[in-house]
Amino acid sequence: MPEAVATTACGSMEVGPVVIPQLDSFPPTGTPKHAKMGSWEFYRSIGSPRRVVAPMVDQSELAWRILSRRYGSDLVYTPMINAKLFADENSKKKKVKYQEVNFNREHAEEGASSPIASLLSNEGEGSSKDTDRPLFVQFCSNDPETLLKAAKVVEDRCDAVDLNLGCPQHIARRGHYGSYLMEDWSLIFSLINILHVNLKVPVTAKMRVYESVEKTITYARLLERAGAQIITVHGRTRNMKGHLTGLADWAKIRAVKEAVNVPVFANGNVLYPQDFYDALAATGADGVMSAEGNLYNPAIMLPNPPKQPSAMFPNAPELPLPSIVKMAHEYLDIVCSLRTPTQSSAIKAHLFRLCRPALEVHRDLREQLGKSHFDHTASGADKIVTYRAFVDELERRLQVDMHDVKWLTQPEPPLPGSVSHLTQPGEGRPAYVPHWLAQPYFRPPLVHEEDQNAEDKLARQKRVEESAKQKQRTPPVDIDDLQNSDELNVINKHADEKHTHARSESDSSAHALDQESAAEKKRAKLE
C-alpha cells in the first residue's frame, strides 16, 4: 500500500488524486451458513480449470458452451443474467419467460452434470464430454437481497455464482451495475458477502482494473474479504471498450495474483492459441479467460490443435486454426439436437462472427444469413433449415476459393478486420490466414467525423457525375449546386444506403447482425 498523504473521514487513504478505501473499514467476511470448501480446495474440485470461456450476453448459451467444451475449454460461464428480472415477483409471466430464455430448467439440460441425453444419440467428436459442468452462473445486480433470490434459483444447477463487476456498456451505467459499481465498494462488499454467507455454492467475481495499480490491488483484496473464492481480472479499465479497447494490462493482473490468496483468472489479449500460454506466463494466473477470441475461434483453447491446410495446394502452409464451415456445422448440429431452445439472435451472431472472414469475400451471403431464423414450431434438423442452407452455400463457395491460386497469398488491399492488421506476426500468429479458417478479428481504426464527411461528399459527387453521364448531361455537376434538387435527394438516399451497408463491421450486417448492439437494446427493454 502506498504512503498515505491524508486520511479521509470515511476511513479512506488519499494518495495524490487517488482515494483508496481502507480494508479495515469493512466488516469481516463472516461465517457461511452452509459448509463450504476453501478457495483452493474448490478450485481443485472442479478440475483446476485453466482454459475458461467468459460470460457473454446472448453468446455463451448452452449450445455454445457445449461446443467450447468439445474444443478444450475447462470451465464455461453463462451469459450475464439480470438478477432483478430473473427474480421478479411482481410479474410471474415475465419472470418465467426471462428464466426460460436465460437459464432454462424445464429440460434439465442447463447445468447438467451427466451427459445430456439429447446429444448422446448423435455420433460426433466430443459427445462424451457433453455435460454442462463445471458451470458458473453470472448475475448483474445492485441489490443484495434481489441478487440472493436470483442465485437461490440456480445454486443446485451450477458450481458457483459469479457477480459481474466488469460490464462497461452504457446499459450497465443506466442500470447501475457491472463496472459502474466500482465507486461503491460498500455495495460491492454487500453483494458478494450475502451470497458467500447464504449460498451452498461458492461466489466468484469478475472485475476490471483501475488506472492505479495500488487501487486495483486493494479492490481485489476487498472482493476476497467479502467472500469471493475466485477472482477474474479483466486487464482493462472501464473506459477501454469499442474502438478504445486497446491492450489489457497483464502486469496489473500479475499484481493482483501476487496480492490475493484465492485463484485468479486472467482476461484480455487472447486472440490465438499461443496467447493462452503467454498470458499464463506473464500474469502467473491460475487460468486464462477468453471472450471475443472464443467467439471467432471456439478451438482457441484446444491444447494441441490439429493443423489445417491453408489452401488445397502442396506448397501451402498448415495452420493450427479450424475450418469455419466445420465449426458452423457442428454448432448447428448441437442446436438442433438440444431440447433447450437456442435464441435465433444467438445463432445468427455466432455464425456471423465465426464466418466473418468468408463474409468479407462473399458479402452477398450476409443477406441470406440475416434472413435466416430458428423455427420454434419444428423439431430436430427442421428447426434450423435456413441456417443450414446458409452454411451449405458458404461451404460450396469456399471449396471453389480453396482451389483458386490468388488466395495463396494475402490479397491487396487486405480484407477488413483480417489478421494482416496484426502488428507483430510471429510463431503462432501468422501474418496471413485464408478466409476459410477461423481467425481473430482486428477492429479498424476509428474514422474522424470530418474525414468521414469528406468521404461521404466525394462519394455523392461521384454518383452525381455517373448519373449525369448516363443522362448525357454536361459533366461534372457540382454537388453544392444541387442541394435542394429532387435528383440530389434520390442520389443522397442511395449513397447513404450503400454507405451504411459498406460500413458494416464484423459485429454487424445489413440485417441487424450487430450482436453487441442488439444485446444492449434487449437489455434496455428488460430494465
| Residues identified as active-site | 167
Q: Are strands 12-15 and 18-21 parallel, antiparallel or unpaired?
A: antiparallel
Distance CA 134, CA 73 (A): 10
Residue with cell 463474409: 359
3 state DSSP class of 253:
helix
Backbone angles phi, psi at 392, to 5 degrees: -60, -45
247-278: buried (b, 16+ CB within 10 Å) or exposed (e) per residue?
Answer: ebbbebbbbbbebbebbbbbbbbbbbbebbeb
Give the number of other Cβ atoms within 10 Å of residue 367's Cβ.
Answer: 14
Contacts of 497 (CB under 8 A, 6+ apart): none
Q: Rounded to 10 degrees, what is the CA torsion of 223, 226, 228, 233?
A: 0
Alpha helices in 46-143 (DSSP H): 62-70, 83-86, 92-102, 117-120
The DSSP result for 316-365, as a single string, is: PPEES--BHHHHHHHHHHHHHH-SS---HHHHHHHHHHHHHHHHHHSTTH
- Structural contact between residues 366 and 359, judged by C-beta atoms closer than 8 angstroms: yes
